[in-house]
Amino acid sequence: ADGEAITAEMVPELAIQSFPLCMRQMQDTLKTSKHLKHEGRQQYGLFLKGIGLSVEEALAFWRKSFSTITDDKFNKEYRYNVRHQFGLEGSRKNYTPKSCTAIITGPVPGAGQVHGCPFRHHSETGLTSLLHSTLGSTMSNADLKEILAATKNGHYHVACTRVFELQHAKLPGGASVQKGDGLGGGDSVDHPNRYFDASRKAIKE
Ligand code: SF4
């Protein structure tokens, strides 16, 4: 995050505007089930740290998101983990957000888990419904076909880049994504945080 101070309250709106599908899915799950399992909290928590949430804002975010549990339970079971991600507990390691490769080759999500990369870990049906719910009418049938074909061929970064383009196709002021907007990896998505940064840049321009 280049200088933009991110607060817990801003996350839901930012998720719609600028998060890649993997993180958007976690925000949506958090909203509906008020919980995320451990691997999801790791992947999403480090991403949120990467976009610029301070440890205080991260604690506020998770506390608010886990709205069905008591403060006591939150403090006992989750607080340490959040602080740990910021290197403030245990081995005090400065954990960095996971890259696409780390997410794609990392732990496979099991039942009830939504971490991982939707392009790699979802069935075609699951991915299609996630794409419909996040992109709505912005995505044509031809777009969907293109994304599914890239996914089937294992070109997850190509599919994700196409989603990025669609997500930003209707920006106010008609901004569109240009080559060199900073996605990295030869202008295709290779890191969820790079996706976010490129999105903020495209939106501000
Ligand atoms: Fe997330 Fe990377 Fe998969 Fe895109 S390609 S959904 S940024 S893990």
* 90 & 144 share domain: no
| Shared-domain flag, residues 136 and 197 | yes
The total of structural domains in the chain comes to 2
12: its two tokens: 């839901």
Report the DSSP beta bridge partners of residue 53.
6
Instruction: Say which DSSP state 111 is in.
Output: T
Q: Examine residue 105 and state whether it is found in any structural domain, yes or no.
A: no
120 CA: nearest ligand 1 atom: 3
Length of the chain: 205
- Helix, strand and coil percent figures for the chain, each rounded to 5: 60, 0, 35
Distance of CA 141 to the CA centre of its chain: 24
Summarised one tens digit per residue, pLDDT across range 36-81 is: 999 999 999 999 999 999 999 999 999 999 999 999 999 999 999 9
How much distance in Å is there from the Cα of 149 to the middle of ligand 1?
Answer: 16
On whether both 183 and 122 belong to a single domain, the answer is yes
Q: Is the pLDDT of residue 1 over 60?
A: no
User: Does any domain span residue 104?
Assistant: no
User: Are 137 and 187 in the same domain?
Assistant: yes
Q: Quick check: is 126 in a domain?
A: yes
Q: Which domain holds residue 134?
A: 118-204
Please check whether residue 109 lies inside any domain of the structure: no
The alpha carbon of 73 and the centre of ligand 1 are apart by a number of angstroms equal to 32
pLDDT at residue 155 is higher than 90: yes
Q: Is the pLDDT of residue 139 over 60?
A: yes
| Alpha carbon separation from 86 to 80, 104, 142, 164 (Å, rounded) | 10, 23, 42, 28
Tell me if 103 CB under 6 Å of ligand 1: yes
Report if residue 19 sits inside a domain.
yes
156 lines ligand 1 (CB under 6 A): yes
What is the maximum span of the chain, computed from C-alpha positions, in angstroms? 50
User: Residue 105 in contact with residue 162, Cβ under 8 Å?
Assistant: no
Determine the pLDDT at residue 66.
Answer: 97
Domain presence at residue 151: yes
Final residue of a structural domain among 69, 98, 127: 98
Placement of tokens 């495209």 in the chain: 202
Does any domain span residue 91? yes
- Ligand 1 atom with minimal separation from the 119 CA: 3
Confirm or reject: Cβ of 47 under 6 Å from ligand 1: no
- ipTM of this predicted structure: 0.99
Domain match, 12 and 94 both: yes
> pLDDT > 70: what percent of the chain?
90
Substitution site in 47, 100, 120, 131 for ligand 1 pocket (most atoms within 8 Å of beta carbon): 100
- Name the residue with the closest Cα to ligand 1, atom 2: 100
Burial degree of 18 (CB within 10 A; 0-12, 13-18, 19+): buried
From the list 43, 193, 170, the residue with the least C-alpha distance to 115 is 43
The reply to whether 113 falls in a domain is no
Round to whole Å and give the CA distance between 162 and 144: 10
Mark whether 133 and 93 lie in a shared domain. no
